[in-house]
Amino acid sequence: MPEIKAIFFDQDGVIIDTEKDGHRVAFNKAFEAFGYDFAWDVDKYHDLLRVSGGKERMRAYFKEEGLFADMSEEDLGEHIKNLHKTKTGLFIKLIESGALPLRSGIRRFMEEGVAAGLTLGVCTTANERSANAIAKGMLGDIPFNFVLAGDVVSKKKPDPEIYLMALEKTGLAPENCLVIEDSRVGVLAAKAAGMNVVATTNVYTENEDLDDADIIVSCLGDTDGEKGTLKKGDPKLQHDGVLRVEQLVAYFA
């Protein structure tokens, strides 16, 4: 029978609810810093989340709105790169300020994974600098075996490339790996790589079609904090609002 030997975590929306009050705010501050009068409200950013990756998201928005149409592709690419660099710095300041707390249950769940001797990794399309600010800063006591982030892959989720790279790094078979995701594109990427998937929803993804995931919960849950709601899966998995590593290891076996 397959045995879970590794857990791979997406970052944004899984480890921290970064999108609405983190990335979106940082993008708008970057636009303002460059003297632009446009901004992304909550609904617009929700629409833009269909595009994976911050630079790609800006490019899609600029094309949609007819902005910077007089720029060559090369100049536009460089401009987007500079905007994204500014945005990343602003986002990291938000992280370091402590304004964006970890999601309920995530640290507990990671600690359980470490105690069980499992390999832990981060697989995110977020910028490498911001990913490391969280994985090596806020979660510096968690011994991640690797952090795959940003442009480390040529194709972003829903393409499975980042998860295939994780398999290559660990030498594990897909059925030995569990992925924690929050979005449809993330779930599809992990499933395309043949992995087991738990989806934890948030304000931006709670109405997405996440049914390809094996298990869906509102959050992982903490015994002394916010409890999760099981949306898909065996009811015995989260009878007290807390989803535990040992339960999942037994479940997927």
Known catalytic residues? 10, 12
b/e string for 180-216 if b means 16 or more Cβ within 10 A? bbbbbbbbbbbbbbebbbbbbbbebbeebebeebbbb
Q: CA separation (Å) from 224 to 8, 102, 116, 183, 212?
A: 25, 14, 22, 26, 30
Beta carbons of 251 and 234 less than 8 angstroms apart? yes
Instruction: Classify residue 218 as left (phi > 0), alpha (psi -120 to 50) or beta.
Output: alpha
Helix ranges (DSSP H) in the chain: 18, 24-33, 42-48, 54-65, 73-96, 106-115, 128-133, 161-170, 184-192, 245-252
- Pairing state between β 215-217 and 196-200: parallel
DSSP category for residue 12 = B
